[in-house]
Chain A
Amino acid sequence: MHNGKTSIELVVPSILGYEIVARGAVATFAHFIGFDQARIEDLKTAVSEACINAIEHGNQLQPDLPVHITSSYDGHRFTVEVSDTGTKPFGTITEPKTIEEKLAGAASLRGMGIMLMAALADEFLVEPSAAPGNTVRLIWYQCEVAQP
C-alpha cells in the first residue's frame, strides 16, 4: 500500500489505439497503489473512454496534437485527468441518456462514453483546461477494508 502523495504523467499522440497504452499505464499505477481488480477494470474502461474522446473530439484525430494524462493519489483519492488541446470544445454536458433511452431511439447509439465515465467513476467532471482545451477529471475513492 502506498500512503504518500504521488503521481505519474503521460503524453500520447492523438492516434486511436494509444488509449490502450494510457489505460495500461494508469491501471499499473492503480494496482501499485493497492486498488482491487474490480475497481481497476472500471478505471481502465473510464480512462479509455476519456482518452478516445480527447483523441476523436477534442483533438479531432490530428496525430501531432497531444493528449495529457495525469494520474495522482493522495492517500485516499485516486484522480485521473485527461486533457486535450481543444480543437473542438466539449458541448454542454447534459444528463447522459440511458441505454434504454438510446435503444428506444431517443438518442444516438454512440456517445456512451460520458454515461460510462459517470457510472464507473465516483466523481466525474468535464471542464475547460487552464490552457486551451478540455479536461476530464475522474476520481475514485480508496475503499477502506473493514477489520474483522
Chain B
Amino acid sequence: MIELRLPSRLGYERVAMDAAASLASRMGFETDRVAALKTAVSEAVTNAIEHGNQHNEAMKVVVLLTVRGDELIVSVTDQGHKAIDAAYVNRVPQISEAMKRDDKGGWGIWLIQELMDEVEFTTAPSGGNQVRMVIHLER
C-alpha cells in the first residue's frame, strides 16, 4: 500500500494523480484506463481540498493506493470540515442546466462514478469524508 499525505492546496491533486497513474501503469492498465483513473483521483482530491477541508492548507488529504490482485483501490480522505451533500451522490448533472449557471462545477462525483468500476462514499473513522474507488484490470 502507498500512503500519500498532501496539503489542502489546489494543484497538489497532481501529485496524487501522477502517483496513481505510475502505480496503475506498473500494474499493466491500458493508457485510457490510466487517464480515467487520473481524472477520478483528481476530482476526488480536489473535492477533498475545496469542500471537505475548505482550502485550509494545514489540513491534510490522505490518499491510499492499494494493489489487491487485479484491482487498484484508491481511498481519498479529508478532515471533514464539510460533509459531502448526499444529494450530489445520486444526482446526474445536466449540461443544459450547468450552462445557465455562473458556476459550472458540480461534475466531480458524477465523473468519479462514471469512470471507476466501484465507488463508495463513507465517513472515515477520523470523521472526515472518504471516497473509496476501485478500478479493475481487464486482461
Contact surface of A with B, Cβ cutoff 8 Å: 4, 6-13, 17-18, 20-21, 24-25, 27-29, 32
Partner of B5, one of A9, A20, A27: A9
A25 touches B4 (CB 8 A): yes
Bound state CA distance, A24 and B20, in angstroms?
10
A12 touches B2 (CB 8 A): yes
B7 touches A11 (CB 8 A): no
**How large, as a class, is the contact surface on chain B?**
10 to 19
A25-B19 contact in complex given A6-B7, A6-B9, A20-B26, C-beta closer than 8 Å? yes
Residue from the set A6, A18, A20, A21 with the largest chain B CB neighbour count within 10 Å: A21
Look across to chain A and name the residue whose beta carbon is closest to the beta carbon of B25.
A20
A29 touches B15 (CB 8 A): yes
B15 touches A28 (CB 8 A): yes
Bound state CA distance, A17 and B67, in angstroms?
13
Bound state CA distance, A6 and B12, in angstroms?
11
Residues of A within 8 A of B55 (CB): none
B11 contacts A by Cβ under 8 Å: yes
Residues of B within 8 A of A18 (CB): 2
Residues of B within 8 A of A12 (CB): 2
User: Can you give 17 contacting A-B residue pairs, CB < 8 Å?
Assistant: A4-B57, A6-B57, A7-B7, A8-B5, A8-B12, A8-B15, A10-B3, A11-B1, A18-B2, A20-B26, A21-B19, A21-B23, A25-B4, A25-B15, A28-B17, A29-B12, A32-B14
Bound state CA distance, A10 and B60, in angstroms?
12
Residues of A within 8 A of B1 (CB): 11, 13
